[in-house]
């Protein structure tokens, strides 16, 4: 949600730079977009992070040796 909000603000700044013919506003918008891209985190949980003590590799090894 934060990424979407920051990208909307960045797009608004770039659009305003064309409307007001002020290049620094567009630069600010590009800077906000750059910060938004690199501060976004991936909230998808991996199999290893689900709270079990067995890793995915160990589970695969156990199933293979049956």
| pLDDT at residue 21 in the model | 86
pLDDT the model gives residue 22? 87
Find where tokens 């934060």 sit.
2
For the chain, give every domain's residue range. Answer: 1-42
Cα(47)–Cα(14) distance, rounded to whole angstroms? 40
CA distance 12 to 34: 14
The number of beta carbons lying within 10 Å of the beta carbon of residue 26 is 18
Going residue by residue through the chain (66 aa), what tens digit of pLDDT does each one get? 788 899 999 999 999 999 988 899 999 999 999 998 888 776 666 655 566 666 677 777 777 775
Q: What is the pLDDT of residue 45?
A: 65
Instruction: Evaluate if pTM is beyond 0.85.
Output: no
Report yes or no: 64 and 42 within 8 Å, Cβ to Cβ.
Answer: no
Distance between first and last Cα of the chain: 45
């Amino acid at each position: 949600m934060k990424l979407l909000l920051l990208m909307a603000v960045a797009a608004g700044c770039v659009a305003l730079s064309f409307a007001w013919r002020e290049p620094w506003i567009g630069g600010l918008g590009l800077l906000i977009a750059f910060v938004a891209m690199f501060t976004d985190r991936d909230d998808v949980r991996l199999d290893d992070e689900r709270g079990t003590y067995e890793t995915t590799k160990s589970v695969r090894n156990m199933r293979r040796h049956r």
